[in-house]
Amino acid sequence: MKKHKKNRNVAIIGIGQTSLSSHKEDQNQVEMVQEAVINALQDAHLTIDDIDCIVHGNMELFEMQFAPDLWHSLGTGAYGKDEYRITTGGTTGMTLVCAADNLVASGLYDTVLAIGLEKLQEGNTTGGITNMADPLWFRNLQTGALTGTTAAEMISEFGEERAKRAAMKYRIMMDKHAVLNPRAHRRFGLEYEQAEDLMANSPQLVGELRLIHMCSQSDGACAMIFTSEKKAGKGTGKPPVWIRDHIQGHREETIPNLFGAVKPEMTHHYCARKLYERNGITDPVAYFDVFEMYDPSAWWAMDWLREFFLLKGDEHIKMLERGDFDLDGKIPINPSGGVIASNPIGATAMLRPAEAALQIRGDAGPHQIKKEVRHALASGFGGTFWTALMILEKDLNW
Amino acid sequence: MTEYFGATVADIFNTMPERFKPEEAKDVDIVIGYEATGEGGGKWTATIKHGTLKVEKVEELKGCKTTIHADAEIFVGVTLGKITAIDALTSQKLRVVGDARLLMTLLPKIFVPFTVTPRKKAVSARAILATVESRFRPEKAEGVTMNIGYDLTGENGGQWTLMIKDGRCTVREGFAEDLAVKLIMDADVYAGMMLGTIDGASAFTSGQVRIEGDMMAAAATTKFFHKYVDPNAAEAEELICLRVTNSIDQRFASGPVMGRWFAGLKEKKFMANKCPECGRTQIPPREICAICRVRVHEFVELGPKGTVTNFDIVYFASPDPLTGAVRDTPYTPIYVVLDGASEQDAFAFELKKEDIDRIKVGAKVRPVWADKPTGSFRDVLYFELDR
Amino acid sequence: MTCKHEDTRNCFVLEGKMALPNQYFAGRLGSKFIIALRDKKKIMGVRCQKCNKTFIPPREYCEQCWSKIAENWVDLGSEGELVNFTVIRYNDKHLPKKAPYILGQIKLTGADTPLTHVIQGIDPKDVHVGMKVKAVFAEKTTNTIMDLDHFEPV
């Protein structure tokens, strides 16, 4: 069993975001990246000279641009510094944070800047996704990233009425959070009374997966600055947020194998199980104060809550129905509005730990959780059911 | 009528006929209904049949294949692109009864987008003519001696001569004696052409601009001058966007394992391979067992029949990035554990269209092969219910 | 472990295409730069007062001191000195000119960064670093850097 012992602890000391929208014609990619970087540097009270290394990520085939990190170097400040480029699909943002964590923990660098971005308006998402599949066989079957099988399974397990209501309640709850978040992309102002109407009339995409359930497609960038324990205390702007541990799990098999007569353990479950085990967390629902989960659709979100919290039966639906996931509930989910509200793909998975860190710091904004947040969980998700999971802490308590 | 974003709902329908592209609508036969509610709203139908369009304002929406409903402000906003259509559709502020994809596929294809000309501060013809001398390009008029007359009629009109000689251009009011050519038009038309809001060629063709004298000389004048730039243009900022469609040629090597798979299809066989350690099958076959990480050499034939473990009914198909073509929907990918396969080893393929209404988890299916398989993806047409 | 003993009877090669449709937004500064080239036939850079440096193509922030320089436009004229060059000797559909053609780096008067562009009107064997060149603008514009068509010897 591998030991995940760090040489030294790593703190998040700077967080910067751009606004997220689908109308960024007035900025080119470099300018968008630089906006996030400058925001992060200001947040940390640092200048670009304090940064030792840059970690850059996006899904390059979504903008159809090769090696964008070279082009963006004017904006990332990478000139003359070490730079790593990371591209891992939907999990890119989270992988950037994991990589930055590893780089600082190892002692190779003291202060690392990570940038995740996406400018989908400048590319073609479907083209990018289609080109992911092996050209000999699967490319012809590709339907993009959509499936309604989870909805069908939930309907079969919990009954049509209850399952559909749960997915819709989750969706409206996410919108309510997004309305509070000034940086979110899509804020519709949905009310719970609209549930019946939306359930019946939102256009169907695949099976019971409807347009209303699906995540956004946004342009935007997020930058974060990481540093060592020693440097974190000194003169930086905001209280540091500690990265306790992270794990990644990836199924190397082809996706159809998830739909056989016997379902394998989901990567969400596997990662959660291992992460909690090696950190001595026996009751994740009780332990964590917030969960920023990567939720590509309302259906998947509901299903995965059961996996991530290692629950059984209909416990997760009961929790939703009781209000445990609300902003003032037992374990708030996605106070930022989640991926359903904003999805700048290369940055999305980074926004999850970023928003979780803001909650710990207490300065998230109008969508700040009122109770003190000491322990946060953040997840990332990508194409082949790749899961990334991370624990953030307010204090060095492990 | 109430205006939103500088236009009325009626403007959209009144301009539909001129924005219609008949050549793109040759195979179209559809009646679309529109309902804009609230102030400035109304009901319209657009009947498109084999390259012709009829737009009518109506009392009731009858006989429409698809109807589009929104508040008048949302209607104009979405049409002008000020409000993102997909967001309006998702939040149900824009509702479609019928095929919602029309908004994204058919309508943009057969109509030129509706736009509103921004209300700029009016620049007079006189003010523009005052800049002619400074915009002159002597290097383009080497050896040219010419007098060009402008007879601008209407409220802000007047008569001017542009005199080009010895690498200089002088502008004088009134007409000179020996005009090579005289251009006659309304002063506002002149201003519009210089500002780019009126297309010169169309203005000439439609008779808005008349030319007396040497037509070729008139055509030549444009290259003697730099383009006029509206000083007020700072308000309406132009943002440049470049659109590119590249494609790269690629060659993919199948390797012996996928090669065996396709060779099997040619014989109407599903050739999976089987792990020597754990015994699980993999379809399509792969070089290595994904769980045991050992090389797999033994091939086994599976099926041909199998049991459906899962399926998706797809209503929305993403357009092909190169061609824009959209698959016929609904279509149904099914996941089948073929007879002889390991229980977790599902094979994905498409279900016969006619069976979509009767498909259930647990159903038994069989493949339907092409008459002459060639060792390609198209050898299996689809799976159908095994009755 | 190699595939030397693999049965290659079934191997084949599939010809395909990978589609790459995309858009590029020049942004506010980029658009201003291109529009100046296109409409006013002017080459504009931006200047950092602190570092005393003028950059072309223009960018929002000075790359040395990171102060915002987006409003400090400078007209760089249309003449400069060739500081570097190479000769392209192959053809490809994405290249702007037919081979052989000269690609050079031109330091315009007043600029601290060179601009990469095509040099025409001189034989490749006669091109040399230090020669003076001037800009020639395009007749037909495309909203790209090629609205400046090429540079030629003064």
Confidence of residue C63 (pLDDT cuts 50, 70, 90): confident
Closest B-chain CA to A141: B349
Q: Which of A25, A124, A137 sits opposite B241 (nearest CB)?
A: A25
Best A27, A59, A72 member to test C by mutation, with max C CBs in 10 Å, is: A27
Q: Which whole-number Å values give the CA distances from A398 to A6, A285, A361, B382, C100, in the listed order?
A: 12, 18, 19, 56, 66
Give B256's contacts (C-beta < 8 A, 6+ positions apart).
C3, C6, C7, C8, C9, C10, C11
DSSP A247: E
Give A355's contacts (C-beta < 8 A, 6+ positions apart).
A292, A335, A336, A364, A378
Report the distance separating Cα A191 and Cα B180, nearest Å.
Answer: 72
Q: Is residue C82 a contact partner of residue C104, using CB atoms and an 8 Å limit? A: yes
Burial of residue B122 (CB within 10 Å: 0-12, 13-18, 19+) is exposed
Collapsing DSSP states into helix, strand and coil, what is residue A186?
A: coil
Q: How much is the CA Rg of chain A, to the nearest whole Å? A: 20
Report the distance separating Cα A105 and Cα B15, nearest Å.
Answer: 64
Q: Is residue B346 a contact partner of residue A259, using CB atoms and an 8 Å limit? A: yes
Q: Which whole-number Å values give the CA distances from B99 to A202, B177, B315, in the listed order?
A: 12, 67, 10
Cβ of A74 within 8 Å of Cβ of C59? The answer is yes
Cβ of B335 within 8 Å of Cβ of A207? The answer is no
pLDDT reported for residue A289:
97
Collapsing DSSP states into helix, strand and coil, what is residue A107?
A: coil
Could you tell me the two tokens for B25?
């609508």
Mean pLDDT (chain B) is 86
- For helices A298-308 and A160-180, give the axis angle rounded to 10 degrees: 100
Taking the mean position of all CA atoms in its chain, how far away is CA A44?
Answer: 22
Touching partners of A (3+ C-beta pairs < 8 Å): B, C
Burial of residue B118 (CB within 10 Å: 0-12, 13-18, 19+) is exposed
**Type of residue numbered B245:** T
**Type of residue numbered C131:** M
Could you tell me the two tokens for A81?
């510094």
Q: Which residues of C touch A79 (CB under 8 A)?
A: 63
pLDDT reported for residue B225:
85
Q: What is the pLDDT along chain A (398 residues), one digit of tens a residue?
A: 456 788 999 999 999 999 887 778 888 999 999 999 999 999 999 999 999 999 999 888 788 888 899 999 989 999 899 999 998 888 999 999 999 999 999 999 999 999 999 988 787 776 666 666 677 777 776 655 688 889 999 999 999 999 999 999 999 999 999 999 988 888 888 899 989 988 988 888 889 999 889 988 888 999 999 999 998 876 567 899 999 999 999 876 667 777 888 888 899 999 999 999 999 999 999 999 999 999 999 999 999 999 999 999 999 999 999 999 999 999 999 999 999 999 998 899 999 999 999 999 999 999 999 999 999 999 999 877 899 999 999 999 88
CB pairs under 8 A between A and B: 119
Domains of chain B, each with CATH number or no CATH = 9-110 (3.30.1050.10), 125-224 (3.30.1050.10), 255-385 (no CATH)
- The complex's ipTM? 0.87
What are the tens digits of pLDDT across the range B86-98? 888 888 889 988 8
pTM, rounded to two decimals: 0.80
Cβ of B92 within 8 Å of Cβ of A260? The answer is no
Per-residue DSSP letters for A213-236? GB----EEEEEEEEEEHHHHTSS-
Identify the CA nearest to A12 among candidates A396, A279, A374, A392. Answer: A392
Å between A128 CA and nearest CA of chain B: 9
pLDDT reported for residue A1:
46
Q: Which residues of C touch A63 (CB under 8 A)?
A: 22
Å between C136 CA and nearest CA of chain A: 27
Identify the CA nearest to A42 among candidates A225, A265, A212, A287. Answer: A225
Q: Which residues of A touch C26 (CB under 8 A)?
A: 28
Burial of residue C77 (CB within 10 Å: 0-12, 13-18, 19+) is middle
- Chain A CB within 8 Å of residue B337 CB: yes
Burial of residue B235 (CB within 10 Å: 0-12, 13-18, 19+) is exposed
Cα-Cα-Cα-Cα torsion A155, A159, A161, A165, nearest 10 degrees, comes to: -60
Report, at the CATH architecture level, how domain A10-126+217-228 is classified: 3-Layer(aba) Sandwich (3.40)
Identify the residue whose tokens are 């209303």: A212
Cβ of B229 within 8 Å of Cβ of C14? The answer is no
Per-residue DSSP letters for B260-321? HHHHHHHTT-EEEEE-TTT--EESS--SB-TTT--B--EEEEE-SSEEEEEE--B---PPPT
Name residue B159's beta-bridge partners. B151
Which has the higher per-residue pLDDT, A132 or B261? B261
Cβ of A123 within 8 Å of Cβ of C22? The answer is yes
Q: How much is the CA Rg of chain B, to the nearest whole Å? A: 33
- For residue C19, is pLDDT > 80? no
Could you tell me the two tokens for A121?
């308006």
Closest C-chain CA to B266: C10
Taking the mean position of all CA atoms in its chain, how far away is CA B36?
Answer: 24
What are the tens digits of pLDDT across the range B131-154? 888 888 887 788 888 899 999 998
* Cβ-count burial A138-150 (b if 16+ within 10 Å, e if not): bbeebbbbbbbbb
- Chain C CB within 8 Å of residue A31 CB: yes
Neighbours of A345 (CB within 10 A): 30
Q: Which residues of C touch A24 (CB under 8 A)?
A: 25
Burial of residue A193 (CB within 10 Å: 0-12, 13-18, 19+) is exposed
**Alpha-helix runs per DSSP H in C17-148:** 27-39
Name residue B32's beta-bridge partners. B46, B66
Cβ of C10 within 8 Å of Cβ of B237? The answer is no
Measured in degrees and rounded to the nearest 5, phi and psi for residue A290 equal: -160, 150
**Type of residue numbered A258:** L
Identify the CA nearest to A336 among candidates A169, A219, A187. Answer: A187
Q: Quick check: bond before A256 cis, omega within 30?
A: no
Report the distance separating Cα C154 and Cα C152, nearest Å.
Answer: 6
Q: Is residue B191 a contact partner of residue B122, using CB atoms and an 8 Å limit? A: yes
Taking the mean position of all CA atoms in its chain, how far away is CA A255?
Answer: 21
Per-residue DSSP letters for B216-277? HHHHHGGGGBPPP--GGGGSS----EEEEEEEEEEEEE-HHHHHHHHHHHHTT-EEEEE-TT
pLDDT reported for residue A236:
63
pLDDT reported for residue B234:
53
What are the tens digits of pLDDT across the range B65-121? 899 999 999 999 888 888 888 888 888 889 988 877 777 778 888 888 888 766 555
- Chain A CB within 8 Å of residue B103 CB: no
Q: How much is the CA Rg of chain C, to the nearest whole Å? A: 21
Q: Which residues of B touch C15 (CB under 8 A)?
A: 249-251
Per-residue DSSP letters for B120-145? PPP--HHHHHTTTGGGB-GGGSTT--
Mean pLDDT (chain C) is 91
Cβ of B307 within 8 Å of Cβ of A148? The answer is no
Report the distance separating Cα B261 and Cα B373, nearest Å.
Answer: 13
Identify the CA nearest to B244 among candidates A176, A127, A206. Answer: A127
* Cβ-count burial B335-345 (b if 16+ within 10 Å, e if not): bbbbebbbebb
Report the distance separating Cα B197 and Cα B179, nearest Å.
Answer: 28
Give C137's contacts (C-beta < 8 A, 6+ positions apart).
C37, C41, C147, C148, C149
Q: Which residues of A touch C22 (CB under 8 A)?
A: 63-65, 122-124
